[in-house]
Amino acid sequence: MALEEYKRKRRFTKTAEPRGKKKTTASGRLFVVQKHQASHLHYDLRLEHNGVLKSWAVPKGPSLDPGTKRLAMAVEDHPVDYAEFEGTIPEGEYGGGTVMIWDRGTYTPEGIDDVDQALRDGELKLQFTGKKLKGSWVLVRTRNRQWLFIKHRDAHASSRDITAEQPRSVVSRRTLAQIAKDEGGNVEKAARGDVPRPAAASS
């Protein structure tokens, strides 16, 4: 049942997104951040848990600055093999646009053993070991589907804009425009997501 909403929103005869099955990786703690130029640019944070990817859309992307609180909207669970998806979703389909694997690695829950309980309680502390995102972070629910994604103060905290400094895919090293060109997508639309944006102080 966990993937029913995901499947209901997609026509797999039209999109190359994985249909998906409930499964796990070797670690069971995969994380991925996918940069997604759809109607608007956003970043999708996904955490492997119980055979699916728990998912949040982060409109402004991750910030390494502990003083910056990024809005993260909870969305439907995705299949674990979605973490391998980099390419285009046809225009007119749900989420139509270009998807990049911006970062990925593994995560470890901090201070808890029960991730389900942490999600119910609305506070999940995490250690990321990614190519770009490292160290301690927290997801805090403010209301309903609205969460905040915040970097903790540690050796990996910084005022640098990681989304502007490291805009390319960690898998293919391509930009969004290059992915769209290679995969038959809308290059002009994808390129809008490649333009570095000024760092914002808050969500």
- Residue 103: closest CA among 134, 146, 149, 71: 134
Average pLDDT over residues 67-74: 98
Instruction: Give pLDDT, residue 195.
Output: 73
- How far, in Å, CA of 180 to CA of 167, rounded? 15
What pLDDT band is residue 197 in, cutting at 50, 70 and 90? low
pLDDT, tens digit, 9 for 90 and up, residues 27-67: 999 999 999 999 999 999 999 999 999 999 999 999 999 99
CA distances to 19, 103, 123, 152 from 30, in Å: 19, 11, 19, 20
Average pLDDT over residues 15-24: 87
pLDDT, tens digit, 9 for 90 and up, residues 139-148: 999 999 999 9
DSSP 105-158: EEEEESS-S-HHHHHHHTEEEEEEEESS-EEEEEEEEEETTEEEEEE-SSTT--
Mean pLDDT of the chain: 94
pLDDT, tens digit, 9 for 90 and up, residues 94-150: 999 999 999 999 999 998 889 999 999 999 999 999 999 999 999 999 999 999 999
